[in-house]
């Protein structure tokens, strides 16, 4: 059984720090990272945690302490990574649709960069030639991922340089002497099927002969974790086996050794997170029973943004008679966390816990409706540590100047 926090621990945290509150379980993060190391043993693979899933600086420091590298989606994330103590060689920046000036800033930081447009590739070539190795993010024309907002590799996607533009990439390489070290793809999030990754490997390995300075194949992130009870995630053991097989075969055939990079976000932190809310109001409306909690899309937008499912537990009344509820927030929009969800009888003041709240949850929170963002707590060696205070009114006024 994977590591979990107990209902008792969660209740104590809510009693001490209040609710709503985000809770992260450090050892569970480590367990997930070690699962990856184990599954990819015997391969030359490096893992870069996709920081955009959860960027709290204490979490980043913890991720550094367990030996994982970091993938950033903005130059600010790269600066946070440096602030957390990562060295430039541990930092990767996979950009999309950024100004060349941001690539120049990343280069100043000395970090690895994956570039996702022809125009920035050419500008990089003209500026750096062979002096600074870069990666090219390709759009592999693979349709994959949990829903359209998180599918990034299909043929109408905004991400990456189209495979059809290979000739233009080669032209940049030839004309500017650009040092292309990495070919990168990230086809989407919540990819269960190992065959999707296998297809990506096939597409990229086919291109290797065009790139004499290539050293790295970067397969992005997107490993799926179970959200529904009974659901299974990506079989990473199978994925590790596939990578070992394909890259050994390739090396044997061509004599070229390639390192493999992955950028898992969700896989590393999703299941380590819990979001604890309190029920404000039980309300009957039409034929529905509403459980209105002291939170909303301002704190956890995944269900409203892309229909994500989060398991919800009533830790105050786990053995109550099961009824069906609309679990909703307090924001002035229809912010349903869950529809027609069977839960043990929910009463006012009960604690409802959202599971899998580590990835893209606090990180996507906002001050909408002028409500405060929740505090964050990291549980490490059994001890809860406050790693972000809840907001106060001054936080809403911060940066506002007098008209």
Ligand X SMILES: *Cc1c(COP(=O)(O)O)cnc(C)c1O
CB atoms within 10 A of CB 257: 11
Indicate if 332 belongs to the active site.
Answer: yes
Q: Token match 């349903």: residue?
A: 336
Burial 145-157 (b: 16+ CB within 10 A, else e): bbeeebbbbbeeb
Check: CB of residue 208 under 8 Å from CB of residue 170.
Answer: no
Site for ligand X in 332-391 (CB under 6 A): 359
Choose, by CB under 6 A, the member of 71, 246, 271, 350 that binds ligand X. Answer: 71
User: CA geometry: angle at 152 spanning 39 and 229, to 5°?
Assistant: 55
Closest CA to 272 of 9, 55, 54, 28: 28
* Alpha carbons 374 and 366: distance in angstroms, whole number: 10
The reply on whether position 221 binds ligand X by CB under 6 A is yes
Cβ atoms < 10 Å from Cβ of 141: 17
Total residues contacting ligand X (rule CB under 6 A)?
18
80/359 with CB nearer ligand X: 359
Nearest partner of 63 among 220, 240, 269, 222, judged by Cα: 269
Out of 28, 30, 52, 179, name the contact with ligand X by CB under 6 A.
Answer: 52
H-type helices in 185-265, by residue range?
194-207, 236-254
| Window contacting ligand X (CB under 6 A); options: 201-209, 220-228, 298-306, 319-327 | 220-228
Q: Is 90 in the site for ligand X (CB under 6 A)?
A: no
User: Which one of residues 23, 26, 50, 78 is an interface residue with ligand X (CB under 6 A)?
Assistant: 50
CB under 6 A: which stretch of 11-19, 117-125, 215-223, 293-301 binds ligand X? 215-223
266 in contact with ligand X (CB under 6 A) = yes
Position among 220, 296, 375, 384 found at the interface with ligand X (CB under 6 A)? 220
Q: Which is nearer to ligand X, 118 or 282 (CB)?
A: 118
- Smallest gap from Cβ 143 to ligand X, in A, equals 16
Q: Which two tokens mark 302?
A: 């995944």
- Close Cβ partners of 69 (under 8 Å, ≥ 6 residues apart): 46, 47, 48, 49, 86, 90, 91, 92
| Helix, strand or coil, per DSSP, at residue 229 | coil
Q: Is 116 in the site for ligand X (CB under 6 A)?
A: no
Q: Name which of 23 and 53 has its Cβ closer to ligand X.
A: 53
Sole window of 39-47, 216-224, 275-283, 333-341 interacting with ligand X (rule: CB under 6 A): 216-224
Binding residue (CB under 6 A) for ligand X from 19, 56, 94, 277: 94
* Residue numbers at the binding site for ligand X (CB under 6 A): 50, 52-53, 71, 73, 94, 186, 189, 220-223, 263-267, 359
Catalytic residues: 332
């Amino acid at each position: 059984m994977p590591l979990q926090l107990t209902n008792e621990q969660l209740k104590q945290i809510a009693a001490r720090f209040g609710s709503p509150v985000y809770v992260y379980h450090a050892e569970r993060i480590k367990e997930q990272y070690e699962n990856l190391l184990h599954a990819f043993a015997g391969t030359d693979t490096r893992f870069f945690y996709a920081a955009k899933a959860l960027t709290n600086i204490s979490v980043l420091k913890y991720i550094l302490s367990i030996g994982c590298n970091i993938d950033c989606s903005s130059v600010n994330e790269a600066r946070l990574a440096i602030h957390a103590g990562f060295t430039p060689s541990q930092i990767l920046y996979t950009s999309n649709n950024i100004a060349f000036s941001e690539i120049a800033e990343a280069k100043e930081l000395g970090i690895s960069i994956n570039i996702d447009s022809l125009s920035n590739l050419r500008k990089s070539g003209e500026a750096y030639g062979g002096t600074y190795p870069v990666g090219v993010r390709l759009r592999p024309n693979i349709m994959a991922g949990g829903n359209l907002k998180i599918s990034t590799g299909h043929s109408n996607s905004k991400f990456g340089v189209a495979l059809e533009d290979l000739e233009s990439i080669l032209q940049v390489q030839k004309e500017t002497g650009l040092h292309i070290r990495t070919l990168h793809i990230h086809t989407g999030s919540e990819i269960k099927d190992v065959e999707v990754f296998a297809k990506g490997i096939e597409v990229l390995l086919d291109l290797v002969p065009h790139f004499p300075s290539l050293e790295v194949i970067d397969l992005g992130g997107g490993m799926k974790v179970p959200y529904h009870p009974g659901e299974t995630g990506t079989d990473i053991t199978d994925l590790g086996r596939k990578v070992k097989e394909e890259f050994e075969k390739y090396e044997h055939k061509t004599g070229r050794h390639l390192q493999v990079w992955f950028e898992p976000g969700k896989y590393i932190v999703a299941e380590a997170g819990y979001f604890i809310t309190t029920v404000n109001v039980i309300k009957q409306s039409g034929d529905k029973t509403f459980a209105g909690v002291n939170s909303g899309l301002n704190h956890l937008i995944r269900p409203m943004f892309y229909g994500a499912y989060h398991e919800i537990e009533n830790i105050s009344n786990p053995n109550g008679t099961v009824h069906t509820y609309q679990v909703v927030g307090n924001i002035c929009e229809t912010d349903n966390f869950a529809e027609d969800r069977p839960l043990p009888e929910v009463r006012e003041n009960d604690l409802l816990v959202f599971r899998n709240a580590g990835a893209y949850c606090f990180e996507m929170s906002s001050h909408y409706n002028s409500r405060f963002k929740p505090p964050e707590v990291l549980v490490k060696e059994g001890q809860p540590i406050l790693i972000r205070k809840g907001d106060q009114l001054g936080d809403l006024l911060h940066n506002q100047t007098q008209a």
